[in-house]
Amino acid sequence: MRYRPFGRAGMAVSAVSLALDGEDLKSAGAWRDLVHAAFEEGINAFELRRPSPELAEGLAEGASAVPRRLLFVGLRVEESEEAGPLVRGIEEFIDRSGLGYFDLLSVEATPAPPRGVPAALRALKDQGRAAWLGVAGDHDLLEPHVEAGGFDALITPFNILSGWRERHMVRAAAERQLAVIGCDPYPARAAELAKAAADEAKPGWLAKPTLAGAGTYAFMCDTPGWSAEQICLAYALTEPAVASVQTVSVDREHLASLAEVPERDLPAGASAQVEMARFSAERAAGTERRRVMRA
């Protein structure tokens, strides 16, 4: 596993990080085993969502052998949550898990300027219950927050479908010394486009191979030694402004297949194929919009 600096925090985080949703596993033992598996793969960065008592207990058991300074744990909350109960829940989880503090507390971005929850998170930071504050969401929601400042990090989808606007925002955030965590590296839409293009490119029986898949995402399904998900993760990791790319997995073998990606070079020509495929998809979408407007 390779490690990257986390913005201005002065800490190194694993290039691949793991999101833990408290509703995915039902026992502390299962969470402990998953955390152990992540450590064995070199993953030291986690983000918690909808944390449960079982997750707190499993994380406490799984992380007990790792010095706290080497562990990066964040928590993402929703702006819609009530500040009082939210703060009590965060403090209870910190105490139950033995973490002492969260490295990153993040709030979901909203169209309107957030009010109560960010203020509550800032108070927790002032009390030493959090080291840094972040904001999470899509490009359009995050852009005003990046411009306004007040956060140390942002969490945003970053993948092969991300265009120049998303890339500009990520790089602008990095220039402001905000740490950037990319999430959703293998979106469902990318998988759909890859499968559809691969099916279309398959030659019929006795037919000669063609270039039907050129300029599409078909290559993701037929690159030897790589799964489509691994290609997408490797591509997201090529962006130097991203400190870590967040994955989701509760299966040990699946997690191991993702954790090995930072140690591999993206297949030759894959970056160019991604750019050509995205350009073709954007051009097709633009043509369809114009057709609908003329109708």
Is the predicted pLDDT of residue 22 greater than 80, yes or no?
A: yes
Domain range enclosing 41: 3-187+226-266
Instruction: Give the pLDDT band of residue 282 (cuts 50, 70, 90).
Output: low
Instruction: Give the pLDDT band of residue 110 (cuts 50, 70, 90).
Output: confident
| pLDDT at 211 (0 to 100) | 41
Q: With H, G, I as helix, E, B as strand and everything else as coil, classify residue 143.
A: helix
In a domain, 198, yes or no: no
Instruction: Identify the burial level of 75 via C-beta atoms within 10 angstroms of its C-beta, where 0-12 means exposed, 13-18 middle and 19 or more buried.
Output: buried
The total of structural domains in the chain comes to: 1
pLDDT: which is higher, 201 or 290: 201
Residue keyed to tokens 């999101």: 19
Range list of H helices, 44-156: 53-63, 83-97, 116-126, 139-148
> Rounded to an integer, what distance in angstroms lies between the CA atom of residue 87 and that of residue 134?
16
Q: What is the pLDDT of residues 149-203, one digit of tens each?
A: 788 999 999 998 888 889 999 998 888 889 999 999 999 988 888 777 767 766 5
| pLDDT at 111 (0 to 100) | 78
Per the CB < 8 A criterion, the answer to whether 74 and 102 are in contact is yes
In a domain, 99, yes or no: yes
Residue keyed to tokens 């997201």: 236
Q: Dihedral (C-alpha) 3, 260, 154, 131: value to the nearest 10 degrees?
A: -50
In a domain, 211, yes or no: no
In a domain, 235, yes or no: yes
> Rounded to an integer, what distance in angstroms lies between the CA atom of residue 114 and that of residue 101?
23
Q: What is the pLDDT of residues 195-210, one digit of tens each?
A: 777 677 665 544 444 4
In a domain, 277, yes or no: no
Mean pLDDT of the chain: 85
Lowest mean pLDDT among 24-28, 62-66, 88-92: 62-66
In a domain, 28, yes or no: yes
pLDDT: which is higher, 74 or 203: 74
Range list of H helices, the chain: 28-40, 53-63, 83-97, 116-126, 139-148, 164-175, 188-201, 228-236, 252-259, 270-294
pLDDT: which is higher, 6 or 200: 6
Q: What letter represents residue 39's amino acid?
A: F
Percent of the chain exceeding pLDDT 70 equals 87
Instruction: Identify the burial level of 97 via C-beta atoms within 10 angstroms of its C-beta, where 0-12 means exposed, 13-18 middle and 19 or more buried.
Output: buried
Q: Measuring CA to CA, how many Å separate 189 from each of 11, 100, 290?
A: 33, 39, 22
In a domain, 260, yes or no: yes
Is the predicted pLDDT of residue 135 greater than 70, yes or no?
A: yes
In a domain, 141, yes or no: yes
Percent of the chain exceeding pLDDT 90 equals 53
Question: What is the rounded average pLDDT of the residues 58-77?
Answer: 92
| pLDDT at 208 (0 to 100) | 46
What CATH number has the domain bearing residue 107? 3.20.20.100
